[in-house]
Structure 1
Amino acid sequence: MSVKEVNGGYVIDFTLNHERFRETIPAPHNKTAAKRVEEQEAIYKMAISLNDKAIASRFPNSKIIQKAFDSGCNYTIHDYSNIWFKQKQRNWSHTTIRGYTQKYNSYIQPNWGHLKLTDFKASMFDEWASESLLSGKSINETRNVLSQIFKRAYFDGVIESNPVERIERYKQENIEPKPFNQSEIRRILKALQPPYKEFYQFAFYTGLRTGELLGLRWEDVDIENHVAHIRVNITSGKEKSPKTAGSIRTVELHDLAIQALRSIKSSIFYDSKRVFIDPKTMNEYKYADGLRKYVWKPTLEKLKVPYRYPYQCRHTYASMMLSQGKNPMWVAKQLGHSDWGMIRKVYGRWINQTL
């Protein structure tokens, strides 16, 4: 028996995994108390054997439980990922949650989720990265998620340092924009039927992000003063505020963007709320993937125009404006950047160039 009577109660005394555990439980000497202490001992053994913190949490003041679970770090990376997600996700956008979840489920959990936080070494990540076929950008994004999990544990005092800080960021290849030239733009717009023509004409001549195009409301548009106020964004079917403070902005509208708005407003595709609606359902767009698959891509294939994602409309607008001598800071504000550093980095060769 590992439960014995002593003055004033019972002693639980057992050895498990070559480690001795001992604790005195104050209780009267009777059959009911003795049975309760024996059951408590059995639960202790189960919790320790299974490393189950949920079971152990039933006895937070137990010396045995404290010794078994509080001496050193018993949290796995998966344990703390759940803690981190629960604490932080309220501040994240739907897109951020989806991105973090994808990186964690695809790369972190299967490789290191089972490890205790203290067993993870920076070299483990580097070894994985050296064999991975992922881009430098994806590897760095995975590193960022892993680092935030460890940072949460470090701030909580669970670990003494964040090992991910010792992992160097991987080189990312900058993919240069491939804007459409004026001939391509004219051919594409000529081939498109309303209201797709107006949608992409507005995209080419405003540089709005796809979600901003889908979310644009007539209340945000001032045709007479040639401006649009960007206040909402459609992401994964949900209306959200733009991602950053700089993205909430007022943009000056090109004459051809105004032309597209007037054409929509005088057509059968006019809707009182959204500027652009799906002509098949006459409802607002929730997603843009159908536009890309069934309108954009077939049109480029038919015209034999080298395929680029619709996001290149944004790059086309930026390169056009810079080539026409527009101030880079003005272009940055039009696109929703807080400064022109990104403009210089991404579009530098189009500044004062001829498209």
Structure 2
Amino acid sequence: MSVKTVNGGYVIDFTLNHERFRETIPAPHNKTAAKRIEEQEAIYKMAISLNDKAIASRFPNSKIMQKAFDNGCNYTIHDYSNIWFKQKQLNWSHTTIRGYTQKYNSYIKPNWGNLILNEFKASMFDEWASECLLSGKSINETRNVLSQIFKRAYFDGVIESNPVERIERYKQEAHEPKPFNSEEITLILGELPAPHKQFFQFALYTGLRTGELLGLRWEDIELNKQAAHIRVNITSGKEKAPKTKGSIRTIELHDLAYDALQTLKKTKFFDSHRVFIDPRTMKEYKYADGLRKYIWKPTLEKLKIPYRYPYQCRHTYASMMLSAGKNPMWVAKQMGHADWGMIRKIYGRWLN
């Protein structure tokens, strides 16, 4: 067993059970680096002698570990999901972490988590997909998580190919928007008390996403210019920047959206920070589910209006603007889309 100095780094070299293991590690030539490499060598030897994958997983890029552990393929899908998640999670938003975790724990882990990476076959996924009752969208999202786990293992040289690439994407059904008509809007806004009336009036006449509505601050509003700057988003109780560059935007306020703000400023529900606050607690909203369950849904039931999620307020705004002859590019900018492709795809029947 030895550690040798070479140009640009060190070579770990040892023999265990009549097999030689050798690896070059780039590092500066100093005492600190030399000590670290010696300690790494000792850990390698221990992992191999004990056949301990938990130790080996700390060095997924190590050629020695790949060679020692069944030619680099002694990991289960669950083993490598932990490696992938640990390496990548710092680049993900809170909602991405939540979505990936849900798909993995609900579908991937119980079905294939215990399989060795190279035991998984594309047909296993297709068989599962044919029997499950999930939508095409959910199946594709599960496929995406599984593919990323295998892609990480492939890039680390642990497996020779990514089997998920052999799985075709499943057809996703497009659901056409179901906007509210003018009569329904009048009934809804007539039934809602302040400040819920102003919240949904603003939603219907700006098309903002739910998280954008919750995150809106008075400092983002320029009433004299009848404009709002969309800069923050509330998702799962946390404030963060909007997901895409196109979502960071300045919108023109419709007259009825402007009126909602002017009215709100004159009520006892005015807060100097957030535009919309919970009237029960007089604090900012962290989640919108309470609004949907206890305000929106009972109102539609009382008015006998067919139920649609509050997100249809966004679709209502887009359809109203397009029906009024607004330029699709202007509508796309108002909605936070990078171009008008999504407008054409989703709201095609409202285009002149």
Q: TM-score, with normalisation over the residues of structure 1?
A: 0.83
The reply to whether residue 47 of structure 1 matches residue 50 of structure 2 is yes
Shift in alpha-carbon separation, 1:90–1:57, aligned structure 2, 3 A: closer
Give the aligned partner of residue 3 of structure 1: none
Deviation string 1:211-263 (CA, Å, 9 cap, x unpaired) is 00000000000111111000000001110100111100011110000000000
Give the aligned partner of residue 196 of structure 1: 196
The reply to whether residue 273 of structure 1 matches residue 273 of structure 2 is yes
Deviation string 1:180-236 (CA, Å, 9 cap, x unpaired) is 000000000000000000000000000000000000000000111111000000001
Shift in alpha-carbon separation, 1:158–1:298, aligned structure 2, 3 A: same
For 2:237 and 2:140, how far apart are their aligned partners in 1?
27
Give the aligned partner of residue 4 of structure 1: none
Shift in alpha-carbon separation, 1:230–1:68, aligned structure 2, 3 A: same
Give the aligned partner of residue 210 of structure 1: 210
Deviation string 1:158-180 (CA, Å, 9 cap, x unpaired) is 11111111100000000111000
Give 1:290 deviation, angstroms: 0.5
Give the aligned partner of residue 228 of structure 1: 228
Secondary structure of the residue aligned to 1:326 is coil
Give the aligned partner of residue 168 of structure 2: 168
Give the aligned partner of residue 109 of structure 2: 109
Give the aligned partner of residue 28 of structure 1: none
Paired residues of 2:47 and 2:53 also in contact (CA < 8 A): no
Secondary structure of the residue aligned to 1:234 is strand
Paired residues of 1:233 and 1:240 also in contact (CA < 8 A): yes
Paired residues of 1:232 and 1:242 also in contact (CA < 8 A): yes
The reply to whether residue 237 of structure 1 matches residue 237 of structure 2 is yes
Give the aligned partner of residue 335 of structure 1: 335
Deviation string 1:113-153 (CA, Å, 9 cap, x unpaired) is 11111111111110110111000000000001111111111
Which of the two has higher C-alpha Rg? Answer: 1
Give the aligned partner of residue 81 of structure 2: 81
Paired residues of 2:215 and 2:274 also in contact (CA < 8 A): yes
For these two proteins, the number of residue pairs brought into alignment is: 312
Give the aligned partner of residue 263 of structure 2: 263
Give the aligned partner of residue 248 of structure 2: 248
Shift in alpha-carbon separation, 1:55–1:248, aligned structure 2, 3 A: closer
Paired residues of 1:137 and 1:172 also in contact (CA < 8 A): yes
Give 1:45 deviation, angstroms: 9.5
Shift in alpha-carbon separation, 1:183–1:53, aligned structure 2, 3 A: same
Q: Which amino acid aligns with 1:225?
A: K
Secondary structure of the residue aligned to 2:347 is helix
Shift in alpha-carbon separation, 1:209–1:22, aligned structure 2, 3 A: same
Paired residues of 1:147 and 1:164 also in contact (CA < 8 A): yes
Give the aligned partner of residue 96 of structure 1: 96
Secondary structure of the residue aligned to 1:103 is helix
Q: Which amino acid aligns with 2:54?
A: A
Q: Which amino acid aligns with 1:264?
A: L
Shift in alpha-carbon separation, 1:74–1:262, aligned structure 2, 3 A: same
Shift in alpha-carbon separation, 1:136–1:59, aligned structure 2, 3 A: closer
The reply to whether residue 345 of structure 1 matches residue 348 of structure 2 is no
For 1:332 and 1:176, how far apart are their aligned partners in 2?
17
Shift in alpha-carbon separation, 1:209–1:304, aligned structure 2, 3 A: same
5 Å-filtered alignment, 1:167-186, equals 167-186=167-186
Give 1:54 deviation, angstroms: 2.8
Give the aligned partner of residue 314 of structure 1: 314
Secondary structure of the residue aligned to 1:250 is strand
Give the aligned partner of residue 11 of structure 2: none
Give 1:300 deviation, angstroms: 0.3
Give the aligned partner of residue 136 of structure 2: 136
Structure 2, unaligned stretches of length 5 or more? 1-14, 21-45
Q: Which amino acid aligns with 2:117?
A: L
Structure 1, unaligned stretches of length 5 or more? 1-10, 13-20, 25-42
Paired residues of 1:47 and 1:55 also in contact (CA < 8 A): no
Q: Which amino acid aligns with 1:260?
A: A
For 1:107 and 1:243, how far apart are their aligned partners in 2?
26
Paired residues of 2:227 and 2:250 also in contact (CA < 8 A): yes
Report percent identity of matched pairs: 80
Paired residues of 1:201 and 1:260 also in contact (CA < 8 A): yes
Paired residues of 2:48 and 2:69 also in contact (CA < 8 A): no
Q: Which amino acid aligns with 1:47?
A: L
Give the superposed CA RMSD. Answer: 2.4
Give 1:266 deviation, angstroms: 1.1
For 2:156 and 2:48, how far apart are their aligned partners in 1?
28
Q: Which amino acid aligns with 1:217?
A: R
Give the aligned partner of residue 146 of structure 1: 146
5 Å-filtered alignment, 1:292-307, equals 292-307=292-307
Secondary structure of the residue aligned to 1:228 is strand
Secondary structure of the residue aligned to 2:83 is helix
